[in-house]
């Protein structure tokens, strides 16, 4: 807009009013790196931020200036009632803490990945003979992590690739340098998948060279991995170890083929991540292309909770969340839009422990790859929305079919299914799975350990589980216990029992005792019969009926969930039966002992001197352990 020959300046925000509690906190804010938390009047955390200088960053929110819409929390600063902060030793620690707190509290004004969860990684441990394993936990123990991978399938594919190319161990046996840990090796040694350090016949340096190849490959350094393997192939041929040389040759050929297919134009940086963003209304996706050694080694797409944020803020929030957990941060990141957070470069550089450059390519090969990343994000959004539309259509069809088949007054928005798992009356458990609007809702799943049933009594176990479940809900949606801060469990529109007429009768008695009139049906496995309460004959639906398929999915989920909990209790009891209850032996020491000796029997067979080599185990504790395990030292 032009007025009197002069461009109008953008509207600037006035300084917001400062509540007394905030004003008092602003006076004592330290001038140090850290994380700050804004909470509303109900005490709920609504925003988590990081800062190199807490004083400057936090005070800026209550100063005049800034454009409307430039930052979501700046526009909603009036909602902030209290301020808290945590000082960190470095900007790197602040970045990591911010990402952790955002995942824990899910503040509504933070940019976060929609599927924000524990992503899978590949971990190379810091042992003398390192293990290579999948994990979802990042622990500061000297291990090196590669990822995050967006799906379990992608991390499994990476694991299978390195298993074909390299020989390494995945077991948790404690192995010392050149010491035999097992009498006989496992099958992986015979399959040429592991070098067998447990036999005490391979020097640490030789094994480490294999691990170096694994790390080069996982880090996208295919060219360096090929060079290393070629050197080993020539060495094996000189030793006339032709079988090993042939295996390495095949690995080199596989890597060279993959590397040739991944090459990208080299006018840009050899190591760089390229971020492309796409929007469909309030739906946002960000594609991340990983380029290493001028090869495209990874392509991930992430859905982002966007709200009304602009592209610059979204990219900055994504970078903070994603790279806080990344196993490796590249020296350069290319995007189509400059990120809004001026401190993001400092945080990423501290996390990388080296300089990180943010680029906005305007022309050339990298600008083309940025556009390609944006197109991938766009195509991903289109595909995902089409899949969601198809899922909704299937869910609507299933709910409509159920309403007709079971003569319900309306489509059941919330369906719950209960199953029981036991072995001869031991470790009896029950599971509760939920479908909402025809879609499985894992966050609503619950499990119960049956406590009041002796022996194997499926009817009584169902009755106890349902009694405890409905004790958490009443017809008006309040909590029977009266705990104001505890959310009552929503009542279902349809209750499904894994079983036939007997289980349905037990469930009906519980509903009657609670004064609840909830439609009830049992799904019997034998012929997939549906038993309504007080029915003299079952309902048999065609195998292709969408309503029946929904109930089968929910029943199978309940079965899986119950069996998983049952196995956990059995496994816990198997370990607890011999090692728990020993004075001075906590979970950490117990785990270290099992990792070192493999089992309780292995611990019992070990000499006292070997037990005391485990951190935290002294002579007295070692003696108590051996006594409890009934070890014969006579």
Render 469-523 in DSSP notation, one character per residue: HHTT--TTS--TT--TTSPPPPPPSEEEEESSHHHHHHHHHHHHHHT----EEEE
pLDDT over 50 (residue 70): no
Q: What is the pLDDT of residue 374?
A: 92
Cα 136 from Cα 541, distance rounded (Å):
42
Domain extents in the chain: 2-109, 121-220, 272-382, 414-564, 580-628
% the chain with pLDDT above 90:
23
Cα 625 from Cα 57, distance rounded (Å):
55
Q: Of 284-293, 379-388, 538-547, 623-632, which has the strongest mean pLDDT?
A: 538-547
H or E element that contains 275 = strand 272-280
Q: Can you name the CATH fold of 414-564?
A: Nucleotidyltransferase; domain 5 (3.30.420)
Q: Which of the two residues, 218 and 115, has the higher pLDDT score? A: 218
Confidence of residue 547 (pLDDT cuts 50, 70, 90): very high
The radius of gyration computed from the CA coordinates of the chain, to the nearest angstrom, equals: 30
Q: Is residue 276 within 8 Å of 373, Cβ to Cβ? A: yes
pLDDT over 70 (residue 331): yes
H or E element that contains 286 = strand 283-292
Residue 625 is given by DSSP the state: H
pTM of the predicted protein model:
0.62
Category of 167 on φ-ψ map: left (φ > 0), alpha (ψ -120 to 50) or beta: beta
Joined together, the tokens standing for residue 88 give: 């960190």
Q: Name the one residue in this structure whose structure tokens are 């049906």.
A: 521
Summarised one tens digit per residue, pLDDT across range 364-405 is 888 888 998 899 899 888 888 888 888 889 999 999 999 999
Q: Which of the two residues, 74 and 377, has the higher pLDDT score? A: 377
Cα 69 from Cα 76, distance rounded (Å):
10
Q: What is the pLDDT of residue 634?
A: 45
pLDDT over 90 (residue 181): no
30, with CB counted inside 10 A (0-12, 13-18, 19+), is exposed
Q: What is the pLDDT of residue 114?
A: 58
Joined together, the tokens standing for residue 521 give: 């049906």
Confidence of residue 407 (pLDDT cuts 50, 70, 90): very high
Render 519-583 in DSSP notation, one character per residue: -EEEEETTTTEEEETT-SS-B---TT-HHHHHHHHHHHHHHHHHHHHHHHHHHHHHHHHHHTT-T
Q: Do domains 272-382 and 414-564 have the same CATH topology?
A: yes
Measured from the Cβ of residue 91, the count of other Cβ atoms closer than 10 Å reads 21
Cα 186 from Cα 245, distance rounded (Å):
23
Cα 35 from Cα 33, distance rounded (Å):
7
% the chain with pLDDT above 70:
88
Q: Is residue 217 within 8 Å of 166, Cβ to Cβ? A: yes
14-23, 212-221, 517-526: least confident range: 14-23
pLDDT over 60 (residue 484): no
Q: What is the pLDDT of residue 427?
A: 86
pLDDT over 90 (residue 433): yes
Measured from the Cβ of residue 446, the count of other Cβ atoms closer than 10 Å reads 17
Q: What is the pLDDT of residue 115?
A: 56
Q: What is the mean pLDDT of the chain?
A: 82
Category of 407 on φ-ψ map: left (φ > 0), alpha (ψ -120 to 50) or beta: left
CA-nearest of 127, 389, 171 to 280 is: 389
Q: Name the one residue in this structure whose structure tokens are 């991995």.
A: 225
Q: What is the pLDDT of residue 116?
A: 52
CA-nearest of 367, 364, 359, 221 to 298 is: 221
220: three-class secondary structure by DSSP: coil
CA-nearest of 44, 105, 52 to 80 is: 44
Q: What is the pLDDT of residue 335?
A: 92
Cα 79 from Cα 101, distance rounded (Å):
19
Q: How many residues does the chain have?
A: 634
Cα 98 from Cα 111, distance rounded (Å):
12
Phi then psi for 58, rounded to 5 degrees?
A: -70, -40
Q: What is the pLDDT of residue 474?
A: 56
Q: Name the one residue in this structure whose structure tokens are 């008092």.
A: 24
Q: What is the pLDDT of residue 448?
A: 92
Domain 2-109: assigned CATH number = 3.40.1440.10
Mean pLDDT score, 131-154: 81
Cα of 558 vs its chain's centroid, Å = 22
Confidence of residue 351 (pLDDT cuts 50, 70, 90): confident
Q: Which of the two residues, 253 and 47, has the higher pLDDT score? A: 47
Q: What is the pLDDT of residue 68?
A: 47
Q: Of 116-130, 308-322, 333-347, 390-404, which has the strongest mean pLDDT?
A: 390-404
Joined together, the tokens standing for residue 338 give: 């400059």
Strand partners, 146: 122
Q: What is the pLDDT of residue 328?
A: 82
pLDDT over 90 (residue 248): no
Domain 272-382: assigned CATH number = 3.30.420
Q: What is the pLDDT of residue 431?
A: 93
Cα of 493 vs its chain's centroid, Å = 31
Q: Which of the two residues, 531 and 13, has the higher pLDDT score? A: 531
H or E element that contains 417 = strand 414-423
Q: Is residue 462 within 8 Å of 469, Cβ to Cβ? A: no
């Amino acid at each position: 807009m032009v007025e009197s020959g002069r461009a109008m300046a953008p509207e600037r925000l006035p300084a917001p009013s400062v509540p007394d509690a905030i004003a008092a906190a602003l006076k004592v804010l330290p001038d140090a790196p850290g994380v700050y938390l804004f909470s509303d009047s109900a005490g709920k955390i609504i925003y988590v931020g990081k800062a190199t200088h807490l004083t400057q960053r936090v005070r800026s929110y209550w100063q005049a200036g800034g454009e409307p819409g430039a930052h979501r929390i700046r526009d909603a600063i009036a909602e902030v009632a209290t301020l808290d902060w945590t000082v960190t030793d470095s900007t790197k620690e602040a970045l990591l803490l911010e990402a952790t707190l955002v995942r824990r509290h899910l503040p509504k004004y933070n940019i976060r990945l929609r599927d924000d969860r524990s992503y899978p990684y590949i971990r190379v441990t810091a042992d003398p003979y390192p293990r290579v394993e999948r994990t979802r936990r990042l622990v500061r123990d000297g291990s090196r992590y590669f990822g995050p991978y967006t799906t379990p399938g992608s991390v499994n594919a990476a694991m299978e690739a390195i298993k074909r190319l390299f020989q390494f161990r995945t077991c948790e046996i404690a192995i010392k340098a050149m010491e035999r840990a097992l009498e006989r090796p496992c099958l992986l040694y015979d399959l040429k998948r592991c070098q067998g350090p447990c036999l005490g016949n391979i020097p640490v340096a030789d094994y480490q060279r294999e691990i170096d190849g694994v790390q080069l490959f996982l880090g996208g350094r295919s060219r360096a991995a090929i060079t290393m393997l070629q050197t080993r192939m020539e060495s094996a041929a000189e030793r006339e170890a032709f079988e090993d040389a042939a295996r390495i040759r095949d690995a080199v050929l596989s890597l060279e083929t993959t590397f040739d297919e991944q090459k990208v134009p080299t006018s840009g940086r050899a190591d760089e991540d390229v971020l492309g963003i796409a929007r469909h209304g309030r739906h946002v996706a960000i594609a991340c292309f990983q380029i290493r050694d001028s090869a495209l080694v990874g392509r991930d797409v992430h859905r982002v909770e966007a709200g009304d944020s602009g592209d610059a803020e979204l990219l900055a929030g994504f970078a903070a969340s994603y790279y806080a957990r990344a196993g490796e941060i590249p020296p350069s990141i290319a995007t189509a839009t400059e990120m809004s957070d001026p401190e993001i470069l400092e945080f990423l550089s501290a996390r990388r422990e080296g300089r990180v450059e943010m680029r906005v390519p305007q022309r050339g090969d990298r600008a083309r790859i940025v556009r390609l990343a944006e197109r991938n994000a766009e195509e991903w959004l289109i595909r995902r929305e089409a899949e969601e539309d198809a899922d909704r259509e299937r869910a609507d069809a299933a709910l409509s079919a159920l309403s007709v088949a079971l003569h319900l007054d309306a489509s059941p928005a919330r369906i719950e299914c209960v199953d029981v798992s036991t072995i001869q009356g031991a470790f009896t458990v029950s599971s509760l799975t939920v479908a909402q609007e025809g879609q499985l809702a894992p966050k609503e799943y619950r499990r119960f350990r049956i406590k009041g049933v002796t022996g194997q009594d499926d009817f009584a176990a169902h009755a106890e589980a349902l009694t405890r479940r409905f004790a958490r809900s009443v017809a008006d949606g309040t909590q029977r216990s009266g705990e104001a801060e505890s959310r009552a469990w929503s009542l279902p529109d349809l209750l499904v029992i894994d079983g036939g007429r007997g289980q349905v009768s037990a469930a009906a008695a519980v509903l009657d005792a609670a004064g609840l009139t909830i439609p009830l049906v049992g799904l019997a496995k034998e012929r997939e019969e549906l038993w309504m309460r007080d029915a003299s004959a079952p309902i048999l639906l065609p195998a292709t009926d969408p309503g029946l398929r929904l109930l089968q999915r929910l029943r199978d989920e309940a079965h899986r969930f119950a069996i998983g909990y049952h196995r956990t209790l059995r496994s816990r009891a198997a370990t607890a039966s011999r090692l728990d209850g020993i004075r001075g032996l906590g979970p950490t020491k117990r785990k270290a002992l099992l990792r070192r000796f493999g089992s309780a029997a292995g611990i019992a067979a070990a000499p006292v001197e070997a037990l005391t080599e485990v951190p935290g185990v002294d002579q007295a504790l070692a003696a108590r352990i051996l006594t409890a395990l009934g070890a014969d030292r006579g």
